[in-house]
Amino acid sequence: MQSKTSDIFSREIAACRELAAGLPRRVTIMEVCGTHTVAICRSGLRNLLPKEIRLVSGPGCPVCVSTQGYIDACIELAGRSGATLATYGDMLRVPGTKKSLAESRAEGGRVLVVYSALEAVAYAAAHPGEQIVFVAVGFETTAPATALALRDARARGLSNFSALFSHKRIIPAMKALIAAPDLSIDAFLCPGHVSVIIGPEKYAEIAATGRPCVVAGFEGADVARAVRMILEGIASGRAQVENEYTRAVKPGGNPAALKLFDEVFDIVDEDWRGIGTIPESGFAPASDFKCFDAREVHGVKIISAPEPAACRCGEVVRGAIDPEHCALFAKACTPAHPVGPCMVSREGSCSAHYKYARQVAS
Amino acid sequence: MCLAVPGRIESIEDENAVVNIEGNRVNAMLALIPEASVGDWVLVHAGLAVTLMSEAEALETLDLMREKYAVEDE
């Protein structure tokens, strides 16, 4: 039975085909959200769109954009006596230089999987004899929970909770990719739940470079509709910010979350796998919250480390290549035996391409 | 990592709510939407309610998600 949703999906694809026929040249649309990467692969959208439209995945998977040095620092912390690392489950199997967190745990390292940063604080309060270090990764969607966790830890007067920050801000990354000479991105599918927090207006500076920005929801029909909106923009020569995901994304974003960012975080330069340091692309605890910064509390050093041999995750996260262009893809590197983070995380491009029919956007 | 699911607030105590998501009761903090009240639909991410939704918006999202998981389960 044909459902209402698949009707919408088919109709949007047909509209995209029609619009693509009138395009003067091939267009490249980048999505910068790992959940969109999964939606695109799962829905088969890449294969259903005409070849004039190239969908390419950008740095949208928090696990994948964390540097090798950061992963190694997490693993080193988990092995310290008296320390417990609290992490989102996605990080467990990412290969560090010597091992993964899961392997460290098997060797006796203490690793606690949490659903929320707030859970890590509650655990710390209940276990005063342990030093809890929360692995603070993710974009603006996840960052408010970390901010609240720090505020909660302060209210409880905890001295056994800290966070190892690698939080990322998406817009500086988009600007860095626009400036990269080897990438030519014509438009962006903007992340839905990041935009719930920051508000769609923030993409205006990206759109001002002539690249349409459409905030999209997470189902195939949402993404197909957003692609159609982008193509309409390109066809009519206008580049503006539009919001496809009006169900959840409201003008101005979430004011309480933005206020919390100002109160708890400083904006800092941040290192990204495959991209390097991007100015103002990260969060770190503000001066009042430095007592919860694991780098200071535990003297953690992030030591830069090379990517796994032959692994091209660095190029995958910046959209320079598709997963299929990596010689390891689906051969030496599979979800069962991942070499790089993009094959580990469910939201990683390599994992999504592998799982959903290995679609090649050539 | 950025997944979020709609649910309806069943009860509130201070900043904490119990949210019914498809029959499952989860705890969600309301610090980001202090104006929320019992009966409201909210979008929950990592133990945190991140935005209010209308009933129609929430039900549409759940419909789309159900379809997705129906496909996943096959």
Superfamily in which the A67-169+255-297 domain is placed by CATH: HypD, alpha/beta domain 2 (3.40.50.11740)
The verdict on A90 touching B (C-beta cutoff 8 Å) is yes
Tokens of A285: 């605890």
**Tokens 């830890």, located at residue:** A153
User: Model ipTM?
Assistant: 0.88
Confidence class of residue B74 from pLDDT cuts 50, 70 and 90?
very low
Report the distance separating Cα A57 and Cα A46, nearest Å.
11
Domain A67-169+255-297 in the same topology as domain A2-62+174-243: yes
Mutation for testing the A interface, residue in B16, B26, B29, B32 having most A CBs under 10 Å: B32
pLDDT of residue A361: 46
* Cα angle, residue A118 at apex, residues A292 and A115 outer, rounded to 5°: 120
Confidence class of residue A357 from pLDDT cuts 50, 70 and 90?
low
A350, A333 Cβ separation under 8 angstroms:
yes
pLDDT per position as a tens digit, A92-113: 999 999 999 999 999 999 999 9
- Specify the CATH number for A2-62+174-243; select among 2.40.50.140, 3.30.70.2740, 3.40.50.11750, 3.90.550.10: 3.40.50.11750
Q: How far is B19 from chain A (nearest CA, A)?
A: 15
Q: From start to end of B1-74, where are the E strands?
A: 5-13, 16-21, 24-29, 41-45, 48-53
State what percent of residues in chain A have pLDDT above 90: 90
**Closest residue of chain A to B47, computed from CA coordinates:** A116
Per the model's pLDDT, the better-predicted residue between B71 and A354 turns out to be A354
Question: Quick check: A145 and B33 CB within 8 A?
Answer: no
Residue A293 CA, chain-centre distance (Å), reads 22
**Closest residue of chain A to B55, computed from CA coordinates:** A247
Checking if the pLDDT of B24 tops 90, the result is yes
A204, A161 Cβ separation under 8 angstroms:
no
| Phi and psi torsions of A329, nearest 5° | -55, 125
User: Residue B67: in which H helix or E strand, if any?
Assistant: helix B55-73
Report the distance separating Cα A264 and Cα A314, nearest Å.
30
Q: From start to end of A153-311, where are the E strands?
A: 161-167, 187-190, 213-215, 241-243, 265-272, 276-285
Task: Name the B residues in 12-31 with CB < 8 Å from any A CB.
Answer: 29, 31
C-alpha separations of A179 from A63, A176, A183, A221, A299 in Å: 23, 5, 8, 31, 35
The verdict on B5 touching A (C-beta cutoff 8 Å) is no
Starting at the edge strand found earlier in the chain, the sheet holding A187-190 runs A53-57, A27-31, A187-190, A213-215, A241-243
- Residue A122 with chain B: CB contacts under 8 Å: none
**Tokens 């003067």, located at residue:** A24
DSSP assignment letter at A333: B
- Residue B34 with chain A: CB contacts under 8 Å: 256
Task: Report the mean per-residue pLDDT for chain B.
Answer: 88
Average pLDDT estimate for A222-245: 96
Contacts with A255 (C-beta within 8 Å, 6 or more apart), sequence order: none
pLDDT per position as a tens digit, A165-181: 999 999 999 999 999 98
Considering only CB atoms, A193 lies closest to which of B4, B47, B57, namely B4
State what percent of residues in chain B have pLDDT above 90: 72
pLDDT per position as a tens digit, A323-348: 999 999 999 999 999 999 999 988 89
Report the distance separating Cα A345 and Cα A38, nearest Å.
11
Q: What residues does each domain of chain A span? A: 2-62+174-243, 67-169+255-297, 313-361
Mutation for testing the B interface, residue in A245, A247, A258 having most B CBs under 10 Å: A247
Q: How far is B62 from chain A (nearest CA, A)?
A: 11
